[in-house]
Amino acid sequence: QVQLVESGGGMVQTGDSLRLSCVVSGGSFVSYAMGWFRQAPGKEREFVAAVSWSGTGTNYADTVKGRFTISRDNNKNSVYPQMNNLIPEDTAVYYCGQYYSGTYYPITEIDYWGQGTQVTVSS
């Protein structure tokens, strides 16, 4: 049974930074690409960032490119988005997801999801 647990969400102000964490248990973490998605109230869940199994390949949504950095620590079964220069439009529930393979294509094809962590950015 693969389980993903996110943490690190909270309430911040515009321009602040936040680092989320996702710890994965069960399965073989090192074999799979990982991604972060988010869902704002009244909107569909959208892709934010992804990282390949090795950590050398990354992909970002245009809305966060240059502000967010995704990384992983295969020794800790963990994946992190470092979110800088946050804006109110970043307010959402952030979800961690494990892909079906070591690469993140198709970009939205997630095998396992975490329960989500709330990020609120005030102006």
Q: Is the pLDDT of residue 62 over 90?
A: yes
What's the pLDDT at 21?
Answer: 98
Instruction: Give the per-residue pLDDT at 104.
Output: 87
* pLDDT, position 108: 83
* Residue 3 confidence (pLDDT): 97
pLDDT band, residue 97 (cuts 50/70/90)? very high
Query: For residue 27, what pLDDT is reported?
Result: 87
- pLDDT the model gives residue 24: 97
Rounded Cα–Cα distance for residues 107 and 56 (Å):
16
pLDDT level of residue 105 (50, 70, 90 thresholds): confident
Q: What would the pLDDT profile of 3-61 be if each residue is shown by its tens digit?
A: 999 999 999 999 999 999 999 999 899 999 999 999 999 999 999 999 999 999 999 99
Looking at every residue in the chain, the average pLDDT score rounds to: 96
Share of the chain above pLDDT 90, in %: 93
